[in-house]
Structure 1
Amino acid sequence: MPLPTALRRPLKSVFRVPNGAPVLTVLAALALAGCNTLGLTDETKDGGTTLYPCPAVGVLDGTDHVTLVTGAGTDLTDIVAKAEIGKVVSSCRYNVDESTITVDLAFDGLAELGPAATSRNLTLKTFVAVTRRFNAFDKKQVYEVPVTFEAGRRQMGFVKTVEGTVLPYGGTADGRIYQILIGFQLTPDQLEYNRNVSYIPIR
């Protein structure tokens, strides 16, 4: 199924994402992992193959960055912080007996304190949403990502893992009927800001 224009950064399938593991480490593990490390049973199949394709996973266009402002937010000195999503990885497993697909994913990003920051602690709101081919929306979950800036640093990286998203399938359907979108959970004002103000990447 062709991906919609809103689905950005299509992903490469990898093995199960460990909790808290840096994304680059997860990618490197792909070359080292063997089938015996997956703990597969007779009714469980590793996804990411032609026979057992994983759902497409990507960043929803327009939600890959967020800018937190104070006051009118019309000047650079009004910026409290900004953050952006970087690399995303995913994996999936099929339970053939139960006709379900379990998806694990992880994404990293970078946050930066602005001139108006008054704290070195930041909480970012992100989301993971599941859509289906014949439904515009299936389900959505919001996750908070805490970021603490070390002394003397105005930029900090973050990693978020979301494991165990279970999706049903059946008949001739498979993982291709699903698309999983991630992004920052934006308020209407933040979404409007993203649309109207040119974003300068942190990286």
Structure 2
Amino acid sequence: MKRRNALIAAGLAAAALAGCKTTGDIVVQQGVGITALRSVCPAVGIPEFTGDITLFSPAGSVTADAMDVTATITNVRSNCDDSGDEVFSSATFEVQAMRRNTSGARSVELPYFSSVVRGGSSVVAKRVGTVTLNFADGQARASAMGTAGAVVNRAEATLPPDIRQRITRPRRAGDNDAAVDPLTEPDIRAALARANFELLVGFQLSEDQLAYNVTR
């Protein structure tokens, strides 16, 4: 699944290059090699087209004047405990919603999913929950908080020693492979993918709702 550009910038890529040397990053030091490696903590993000939901009234209509409730997932924050053999990651997010008809108090339940994805495409765990939005009489806006979590085996999220050595080995001018980026080698890319986990959250959309998000 494609990711939002803002989330890519926040670290969805398994091997994103960093501008300074910090533990858990992949860092190129003065062009002579990569000196630190990626974190075992899952990156957290929202898959494209799943961060918004629109409810219509009457159902089945997709015109602007039939919009009943619109909602967006925002303010995603995460925490990770990687101190043990099991890596625990948790995320919180806010759902901000708006309704067209403000007459009367109303509660709206919206389903959302949280998935643990390995290698960018393999879903290894999924949970579906709901957030409840409570609109007061005369109120057009409401918000609610949601949570998600993931448990990842540290060994599975860690690169094998031989792959780590090939990535971090210094390369100097004159070496036969000095101009070869190790991250472009197929087996290294495959190992990075296997060790890459993501915790993804989004609205649990129907086929029609997803199609609407894609085409609007």
Could you state the TM-score of these two structures normalised by the residue count of structure 2? Answer: 0.63
**Greater CA drift, 137-146 or 87-96:** 87-96
The equivalent residue for 1:150 is: 136
What residue in structure 1 maps to residue 155 of structure 2? 170
CA deviation after TM superposition for structure 1 residue 66, in Å? 0.4
State the secondary structure of the residue aligned to 2:45: strand
**Contact 2:92 2:145 (8 Å CA) reproduced:** yes
Q: 1:124 to 1:102 in 2, by over 3 A?
A: same
Question: How far off is 1:143 after superposition?
Answer: 0.9
Structure 1 74/104 Cα, relative in aligned 2: closer, same or farther at 3 Å?
Answer: closer
- The alpha-carbon deviation at position 75 of structure 1 amounts to 2.3
Kept in 2: contact 1:81–1:114 (CA 8 A): yes
2:44 and 2:142 mapped to 1: Cα distance? 25
1:190 lines up with 2:209 in the alignment: yes
After superposition, the CA RMSD in angstroms is 2.9
Give the drift of 1:112.
0.8
1:153: how far off? Answer: 1.0
DSSP-derived class of the 1:193 partner: helix
**Corresponding residue of 2:111:** 125
Matches within 5 A, 1:15-164: 49-50=23-24, 52-71=39-58, 72-96=60-84, 99-115=85-101, 120-133=106-119, 136-163=122-149
Task: Tell me the matched-pair count.
Answer: 157
8 A Cα contact 2:148 2:201, kept in partner: no
Where does the alignment leave 5 or more consecutive residues of structure 2 unmatched?
Answer: 12-21, 25-36, 160-193
Asked whether the 8 Å contact 1:94–1:101 carries over to 2, the reply is yes
State the alpha-carbon separation in 1 of the partners of residues 45 and 104 from structure 2.
33
Q: Give the equivalent residue in structure 1 for 2:176.
A: none
Q: Does structure 1 residue 6 correspond to structure 2 residue 27?
A: no
Identity %: 25
The 1:64–1:171 alpha-carbon spacing in structure 2 relative to 1, beyond 3 Å, is: closer
Contact 2:105 2:138 in 1 (8 A): no
Contact preservation (8 Å) 1:77, 1:114: no
Q: Distance in 2 between matches of 1:194 and 1:172?
A: 33
| SS of alignment partner, residue 46 of structure 2 | strand
Q: Is the 8 A contact 1:11 1:88 kept in 2?
A: no
Q: Secondary structure in 2 aligned to 1:130?
A: strand
CA apart distance, 1:131: 0.7
Which residue identity is paired with 1:55?
P
Identify, as 1 or 2, the structure richer in helix. Answer: 2
Q: Which runs of 5+ in 1 are unaligned?
A: 14-47, 198-203
TM-score normalised to structure 1 length? 0.66
